[in-house]
Every structure is written in structure tokens, then in C-alpha cells.
Structure 1
Amino acid sequence: MSAWISLVKKEFRLGLPALLFTVIALIFIVGLAGYFGARHGHGISAAAIAALVLIPIHIFYLLCYMFDSLQKERKKLHLWLHNPLPGYSLLLAKLVSALIAMSITLFLSCVIVLFGLKFSSDNKEIFHAFSWSNIFSTGIFSVINIYLFALDFAIWFIFLWVFYRMLTRRIGGFLSFIITLVLFGVLAYLDNLLSGTRFYEWLTHWGKVSLVDILTGFNFNFSLNHGSHLSVDNTTVFYIGSYVFEAIIVAILFCITSWILDKKIEV
């Protein structure tokens, strides 16, 4: 276990430049928005809105982080693969490091948004509709989904990258890229084809949860000023089964990727 923790630390150091770049970019974007907003008397609100826009973009954070990390490993692939730990440990170390980095930038973005809600005079009206508990609950629900989407994208990318590296040792880079691209297209087509079938509905359409139930479960106060009301579409639902199904697919992909890394990529 200590060897794996050391590997996580090494991966985090490897990804530190990317993390610093992201933090600097975040500060720059928020600062720029705050500067232009301040010229019109809305500096804090503008900064908070910029941070709010950046939060959902984090679904691509792990993908970009893994791309950068794996490209760095490509230059010294033999050293990485000569590590005595199994393939799944190598990949998990990268994912954990990426999740730590993502959590840092996501936390900073959320703090800026909450700061804006607390101190901006433009946002005082929001508390007539939502309390702090409502905001935190909605934020937690959103952040959980951001992490799930980010992991999904990252593991698909890792699978395709390892598949591509396996092919390059045998048939060259250009043809390997084309075959990998075709594989991605075929898998996306099959996924789209499956999602329209009754079988897919049977697999995934269980554990129905209404977003209205979640909102009311979070004790949302839907009353706004002057007797108006916030309307929510009662047909807006999601299924726990779809999350479970996607988790199983991602777990299978991760196992296949680890096996390819261990057995099919020569060093």
C-alpha cells in the first residue's frame, strides 16, 4: 500500500504544472470578469457568475488531466510500465491524483460562487427563494454528477489511449489512430442503438427519481416575491438504473484497459 501511495504522490507531482496552470487560469478568468463587472458596479456578481460557469466545465477536467499525464508518460513509457505494480494500480494512481487536482479547482470555484452569493448586493433576492441549506444541497447534488461524468469521460479516454498504444507497437501511429477513431465511432453507434431498445429500458429504467422529489426533499421554498412561484416540470426524472448500468460499463472498460496495459503493451 505504501508503494501505491508513493506512486500517487509521484503522479501528483507530475500533474502539478497542469494543476497550477488551471488554478492560474481560474483566477485570471474570475479576476477579469470581476474587473469588467466592477466598472459597472457589479464586480462580485460578475466574478461569481464566471466561477459558476466554470463549475460544470469540470466534467472535462479528468479527461484533460489524463491526456496531459499520459502524453508525458508516452515519452518514457518503458519506465512507467516497468513499475512492479499491476496495471490497475498504475491507472488508479493517475485517477486519484487527477481527482485531487480536480477537487482543488472545483472547491475554489464553489467558494467564489458562495462568496458572491453572500456578499453581492445583486444576489440578495435569491434568498427569498432559496435558503443556504437549499443552495448547499443543490450544489452537492450537482457536484456529485460532475464527478460521475468526469470519471466516465476519463475512463473512456484511458481505454482508447491504451488501445491506441497497443496498436502503435504493431502497425504504426497513423493507422492506429484511424482504427482507434473507428472503434470509438462504432462503440458510440452501438451505445446509441442500444439506448433506443426495450432491452435498454428494462436494464436501466428502474429506481425512478423525480427532480421535484429531490428539490422538495432538500426543503426548497418555491415561493418568490410578489406571490409568484418557481415552476418545475414534473416529468423531469432520472433513473438510478442508468447510473448503475454506466458504472458497470465503466468498470468493465477499466478492467479491459488494465489487462491490455499488463499483457499487450510491450516495454
Structure 2
Amino acid sequence: MRAEGKQLHLWLHTPQPAWKLLTSKLTTGMVALIFSVSLSAGYGWLYFLTYNLHHIWPAEEQTLMAVMALGMLYVLLSALYLGVWVIFLWVVYHVLKTRLGQWSGLITVLIVLGLTWLLSKIQDSAVFAATFGRLVIETGLTIPLPVGADQWYVESLPPLALGQYLFHALLALCIFIGVCWLLDQQTEV
């Protein structure tokens, strides 16, 4: 982030709009993350198949593959969501730095605390529960869990809360649009 801050003036002098610049940064990061996570999952999968570890975890291969795919998807989407928030806070800090100077760090922290509180209130509201909270999908997946030496308990995976994912995807899109506007209109070089 420090290197980005030192090169901000060069970055803002490019003729490209902010959405193109930010999208290229996010895309590059996601491609590297996809490669890294896929490589790690591939090693795990090969290890499981090579050493025939069904006696350790007696799940069907399709179930294991589905659980791994859901886990990878969750990691990738979480990283993208966190990346959008970090970019938002970085841009807010730089906008405030030109206007408030040394107080910009404190104000940015207060903004983080305020937004965290606001998001928790929104997600705890009855309106959220009635709209986004109702969107769930059953996975139909079951995984074996150990309860003893050679005893297993089969547990169904909980339903996916699609409403939560949709809410956070829309929130990330709004934040991204706001960040692009801030970079194009409010950030001074």
C-alpha cells in the first residue's frame, strides 16, 4: 500500500478512467489468487487420491470435490470483497489526506467503525431478514464427521445463504462505483 501511495500521482495522470485502472488491479490479483488456490487444492486432491485416504475421511469423491469447490469459491469471493473494501478505505484516506492532513487516519478509522456498525444494524433488521435473509439454497451435500475411533456421523451441510452473498455483492458493486467516482472527481494529485 505504501508503494501504491508513492506512485498515486503517476497512476492518476493516466488517461484511463478509474474503473479501468481498478478493474485491472483487481483482475490481476484475482488471477494470481485463482492460480495459487487451484494449485493448493490440486495438491490436496492428488494427495487424497494417491494415498487412498478414504479410511481417514470416508467421503465420496464427488462430495469432497464439491466441498473443495465451495471452499475455493468462498475464498475467492471473500478476497475480492475484502479487496474492494481495502481500495475503498485507501481512496477515502487519500481524499481526506488532501483536505484534513494528519487527521485523515483517525477519520478513516472512525469511518470503518461507523460502517461496521451500520452494516451490522442493516443485517439485523427485519427488512433484511424478509428480503435477503429468505434467499437460501440447499446443497444436498453430506460429510462424514468422526465421533470415535472408527465411528462416523454423517452431517448435512447447512444451506447456502444466497441472500447474504447477493447483499454483499451489491454492496461491493456500490462501493466500487463510489471509489471510481472518488478517484475520478475528488482525488487531487
Normalised to the residue count of structure 1, the TM-score between the two structures is: 0.64
How far apart are the structure 1 equivalents of 2:135 and 2:150? 35
Amino acid in the other structure paired with 2:154: S
1:201 is paired with a residue whose SS is helix
Taking only aligned residues, the RMSD between alpha carbons, in angstroms, comes to 2.5
Partner of 1:207: 135
Q: In the alignment, is residue 150 of structure 1 matched against residue 79 of structure 2? A: yes
Q: In the alignment, is residue 162 of structure 1 matched against residue 91 of structure 2? A: yes
1:136 is paired with a residue whose SS is helix
Q: In the alignment, is residue 130 of structure 1 matched against residue 59 of structure 2? A: yes
Partner of 1:244: 166
Q: Is the 8 A contact 2:123 2:129 kept in 1?
A: yes
Amino acid in the other structure paired with 1:114: W
Q: Percent identity?
A: 26
1:170 CA displacement: 1.7
How far apart are the structure 1 equivalents of 2:54 and 2:156? 26
How far apart are the structure 2 equivalents of 1:203 and 1:178? 35
Q: Please, which of 22, 44, 48 is the counterpart of residue 117 of structure 1?
A: 48
Q: 1:182-201 counterparts in 2 under 5 A?
A: 182-201=110-129
Q: Is the 8 A contact 2:144 2:152 kept in 1?
A: no
- The number of residues matched between the two structures is 188
1:232 is paired with a residue whose SS is strand
Partner of 2:182: 260
Q: In the alignment, is residue 108 of structure 1 matched against residue 39 of structure 2? A: yes
User: Tell me, which stretches of 5 or more residues in structure 2 are unaligned?
Assistant: none
2:134 is paired with a residue whose SS is coil
Amino acid in the other structure paired with 2:140: I
Q: Please, which of 178, 195, 207 is the counterpart of residue 106 of structure 2?
A: 178
Normalised to the residue count of structure 2, the TM-score between the two structures is: 0.88
Structure 1 stretch displaced more, 252-261 or 148-157: 148-157
Q: Is the 8 A contact 1:203 1:245 kept in 2?
A: no
Q: Which has the higher contact order (CA 8 A, sep 6+)?
A: 2
How far apart are the structure 1 equivalents of 2:32 and 2:150? 44
Amino acid in the other structure paired with 2:46: F
Q: Is the 8 A contact 1:167 1:176 kept in 2?
A: yes
**CA displacement, residues 143-166 of structure 1 (integer Å, 9 cap, x when unaligned):** 111111111111011101000011
**CA displacement, residues 191-250 of structure 1 (integer Å, 9 cap, x when unaligned):** 11222211111121222223xx4306xxx789xxx995533267x333212211111111
1:230 is paired with a residue whose SS is strand
